[in-house]
Amino acid sequence: MQVWFPEQKRLDQSKWFLWVRIIGGSVAAITAVLKASKNFNHTSDWVESLALASLFLFWRTRHPGESRWAYLTNARAILTNLSALVVVISALMHSAR
């Protein structure tokens, strides 16, 4: 006996996730601009917010059937991965203080 499960949508394809990303990215970008305008020389204060905003706004995941090379050469994927790396490094620097 075969059991057929309904087709499930991926999380990044749902509408509510898109709106959460847009709102969260906008709030992070506004926070980064406000922190940078207050004290531009302390980059550790505002770079994390800017990287988080770009991570939310340019989110790109690998699609099924897409080759790894096609994914890694996509500009949005490069920006997403670099933003995630900057967010992790900034969080580690803040926790080390």
pLDDT digits (tens, 9 = 90+) for 37-72: 998 888 778 888 999 999 898 888 877 888 889 888
Q: Which whole number is the average pLDDT over 22-35?
A: 94
User: SS3 for 26-42, per residue?
Assistant: HHHHHHHHHHHHHCCCC
Model's pTM, two decimal places? 0.75
**pLDDT value at residue 38:** 92
How confident is residue 34, by pLDDT bands cut at 50, 70 and 90?
A: very high
User: Rounded to whole angstroms, what are the CA distances from 54 to 23, 35, 58, 67?
Assistant: 12, 16, 6, 24
- Give the pair of three-digit tokens for residue 23: 């709102």
76 pLDDT more than 90: no
DSSP code of 73? T
Burial (Cβ within 10 Å: 0-12, 13-18, ≥19) of residue 55: buried
**In this predicted model, what pLDDT tens digit does every residue of 77-89 receive, in sequence order?**
888 889 999 999 9
Q: Which residues contact 71 (CB under 8 A, 6 or more apart)?
A: 62, 63, 77
